[in-house]
Each structure stands twice: as structure tokens, then as C-alpha cells.
Homo-oligomer: A and B are copies of this chain.
């Protein structure tokens, strides 16, 4: 089983269902399994609920990595970053996906179905999954994200 790749958590709101399904197929074609957290109908839902579901799945150790989708990616990225264990990067191209991994050790990327094309989204996901964290000076900063001192 040494070649098994880890499971990837996925969630969206209703505006992200189409792209989430497309990216689920893509991630599976790359050899990963997917923990799909929904939603499973196109009824209107609230992006914080599905962002928090993915955050919880990562915090509980069910998956290490996630992909989140909403119309713009903005709302669900805000929700995910509420959790001190989540480092969610909203990305619009593969350069951002690479920097999010190398510098920020991002464990989730957020994508906006209304903002980027399908091939750009696949490219972001592939680079996100392939790229290693650079460590070094970046580790200290990542550590501070896990222990927010909000000064209020």
C-alpha cells in the first residue's frame, strides 16, 4: 500500500457544486481518494457551514488536505481560516497555489467557480497537491498562525 495517496477533503456551497464535482473527478484521476463533504443538492446553503465542515474534518485528522469551492472562493476561505489549524489560500492561478504551499504550508485551497476557468482550476489543484512546503524561515510564521495573539 506504499503507493496509496492520502484522501483529500472537499466541500463547497451551492455555487461551487459544479466545479467541486469536476475537481473530484480530476483529483481521483490523479490517484487520490476524496472525502466529499457536500452539499449534494443545488439548494441554497451557507458557505460558512461547509467551510467549517472541511475545517473540522482536517482538525479531526480525517484528512490532511482540502479543496473548497464557492462562487468567488472568498466566503469559504474566510470561514476556513477561522480555524487556527487551517491555512486556506484563495488562489486564482497555479503560481498562487505554489506559493501557498511553499511559503504558507497551506492545507486547503479555495477556488471560485465564477472567477476562473476549469483548466485553471485543475492546474491550481495539481500544483497545490504536488508542491512541498519550503520550511526554514517560513516555519516560524506558520507557527504563529496556529497561535494567534490577537491583541484585543
A67 beta carbon closer than 8 Å to chain B: no
- In angstroms, Cα B104 to Cα A112, docked, is 13
A52 beta carbon closer than 8 Å to chain B: yes
Q: Which one of B74, B79, B106, B144 contacts A74 once the chains associate, using CB atoms below 8 Å?
A: B106
Given contacts A56-B152, A72-B100, could you give 5 more A-B pairs where the C-beta distance is less than 8 Å? A48-B141, A53-B151, A56-B150, A75-B103, A78-B88
Chain B residues with Cβ under 8 A from A49's Cβ?
Answer: 144
- In angstroms, Cα B87 to Cα A78, docked, is 6
Quick check: B92 and A150 within 8 Å, CB to CB? no
Q: How far, in Å, is A97 (CB) from chain B's closest CB?
A: 10
A41 beta carbon closer than 8 Å to chain B: no
Q: How far, in Å, is A43 (CB) from chain B's closest CB?
A: 13
Mark A residues whose CB is within 8 Å of B.
Answer: 44, 46-49, 52-53, 55-56, 59-60, 71-72, 74-75, 77-79, 81-84, 87-92, 95-96, 99-100, 103-104, 106, 112, 114-115, 137, 140-141, 144-145, 148-152
Q: How far, in Å, is A25 (CB) from chain B's closest CB?
A: 26
The residue on B at minimum CB distance from A109 is B74
